[in-house]
Amino acid sequence: MTDLAWIDAAITAARPQAVGALLRYFRDLDIAEEAFQDACLRALRTWPGNGPPRDPAAWLIMVGRNAAIDGVRKRSRTQALPDDEAAMSDLDDVETPLAERLDGADYRDDVLRLMFICCHPDLPQTQQIALALRIVSGLTVRQIARAFLVGESAMEQRITRAKARIGEAGVAFETPGPVERAERLAAVAAMVYLIFNEGYSASGPEREDRAPLAAEAIRLGRLLLRLYQTEPEIMGLVALMLLQHSRTPARFDAEGGIVLMDDQDRALWNRAMIAEGLALIDKAMRHRRTGPYLIQAAIAALHARAATPAATDWRQIDALYATLEQLTPSPVITLNRAVAVSKADGPEAALEMIAPLERRLSGYFNYFGVKGALLLQLERKAEAREAFDRAIALANTAAEAAHIRQHLDRLMADAAAARVN
Amino acid sequence: MLYAILCYNAEDVVMSWSQEEDDAVMSRLSVVHDRLERENKLGPSLRLMATTAATTLHKAKDLVLDGPYAETKEQLLGFYIVDIKDLDEGLAIARELGQANPGGAYELRPVRLFLPGAEIPGTERA
């Protein structure tokens, strides 16, 4: 790996901790970000020559803090300051005690606070994600704009507005108590999963720009888990993302069309990700405290463990969905459960299960996709066609529409053949 | 003389590599591995999963904690490779080993990549 690639990875890895600590010092997001930028520029100048510091995060925090304080001084008086680069030569002596102080709870709370401010409830979800990608992950505005299919200046404005909103709202800088910490962690976990889904659900031409968000969310999830090693729900979250992401190489055909799980080439599933996901579930189960992420991960694990679609333990998946329904009741979960029921007990039972959902899910693409597929299995073709027509009208992406179109085309072909006969 | 070479690096940095960067490192390493294996100098080698997948058994109190072994008083003195079906079986084996050899802790960490390597002269099974 080249020096520059190493520095880039080191800066990316240190960013949440460094910006989080600078935010705690300056209590202002813009100053913290600017200080971090300054520190990165100096890192790019001095690390290739002097070699990387032992603790890049501590280095960046120290240099960033000094740069920001200098900046304030420069603005307040016009007097010349001693040369920065000379002052930095004794930095190594300062680094060790600072690094020691950084250990422990402070820096955990710094990273959590930094991620938590992006989850402000006043911000719409897309803005939360954009802000987190900018502040925590350090993606450029341009990269984020491309992922969200908007212009760069529009995204710049959105991020600026979101930051202003956060500034007005005020953030608690005191060390959070256990209850507040748990609440922050839950909000941050939800945001990380949103980022993951932005990447995971992307299809068609937008995949190239958005797919990397899934890997970034996994990186953030692992970071959270390193800070909160004993949280089964965070283990569940990371396991869920790994198990879903493991299927990515098999989820699209050469033309970018969706390949359903039953039709995927399971040899393409990423075994290393599956193994890590299963290991995390194993760890989490020991806590005997289930949560929504862990249950969803357990469902994904049953798919991952099945060598063929026919070998899937649908009975167990049905039971897990039932637990999930109790924990977080939602018609979408019931809809997913119905798919498992259709495999275990047949399409009739599944149709019965989803019928009461129709009113609440009348605007949901998947509802009509599932309904159409169940009706098709029962050879109720006219009703199936009606359901697929509604699904197409509600499709969010071209790939979703194309997938339903296949069913419709087949139905039309069947109907035409029947007329001929 | 047999030596173990223990690999240390900043995990958060390694986890921030892109897939391409990770692949590039692994393929550069495999050039070295292949040559050493041809020379019958390289035995089994492994890459461990992230420390977030680790569990630690503190032997004296039979205390199971999530995460890697983080104390600095003890040193790494050896390791086992075991083929187990789940973490519970791994902990059972670790407890049994702990009965035979008390003190310290065992960290159980899943293996991400296992390369069996070549048969090294003088290491045949007795």
* Nearest CB partner across the interface for A9, out of B16, B19, B112: B16
Q: What is the ipTM of this complex?
A: 0.89
- What is the per-residue pLDDT for A166? 85
* Nearest CB partner across the interface for B52, out of A12, A238, A275: A238
Does B45 touch chain A if contact means CB atoms closer than 8 Å?
no
Q: Please state whether the predicted TM-score (pTM) of the whole model is above 0.90.
A: no
What are the two backbone dihedrals, phi and then psi, of residue A328, each rounded to the nearest 5 degrees?
-140, 80
The full DSSP string for A272-319 is HHHHHHHHHHHHHHTT----HHHHHHHHHHHHHH-SSGGG--HHHHHH
- What is the per-residue pLDDT for A1? 56
Calculate the alpha carbon distances from A205 to A196, A252, A286, A388, B19 in Å: 18, 12, 42, 24, 21
Please report how many Cα atoms fall inside a 13 Å half-sphere around the Cα of residue A137, on the Cβ side: 28
d(CA A30, CA A49): 30
| Binary contact (A282, B52; C-beta < 8 A) | no
Calculate the alpha carbon distances from A87 to A60, A67, A70, A275, B76 in Å: 15, 11, 12, 48, 40
Q: Which two tokens stand for residue A23?
A: 């935010």
pLDDT in tens, A110-164: 999 999 989 888 888 888 999 999 999 999 999 899 888 889 999 999 999 998 8
- What is the per-residue pLDDT for A78? 55
DSSP-derived 3-state class of residue A258: strand
- What is the per-residue pLDDT for A286? 93
d(CA A195, CA A398): 21
* Nearest CB partner across the interface for B13, out of A9, A230, A272: A9
- What is the per-residue pLDDT for A77? 62
Question: Which chain B residues are Cβ-neighbours of A276 within 8 angstroms?
Answer: 49-50, 53, 110, 112
What are the two backbone dihedrals, phi and then psi, of residue B61, each rounded to the nearest 5 degrees?
-95, 5
Interface test with B, best of A283, A286, A287 (most B CBs within 10 A): A283
pLDDT averaged over every residue in chain A: 88
pLDDT in tens, A290-338: 999 999 999 999 999 999 999 999 999 999 999 999 999 999 999 999 9
Calculate the alpha carbon distances from A49 to A43, A45, A53, B84 in Å: 10, 8, 11, 47
Query: Of the ranges A129-143, A173-187, A337-351, B75-89, which one carries the lowest mean pLDDT score?
Result: A173-187
Mean pLDDT score, A200-216? 85
pLDDT in tens, A231-244: 999 999 999 999 99
Nearest by Cα to A293 from A327, A260, A316, A322: A327
Chain B closest CA to A104's CA: distance in Å?
A: 12
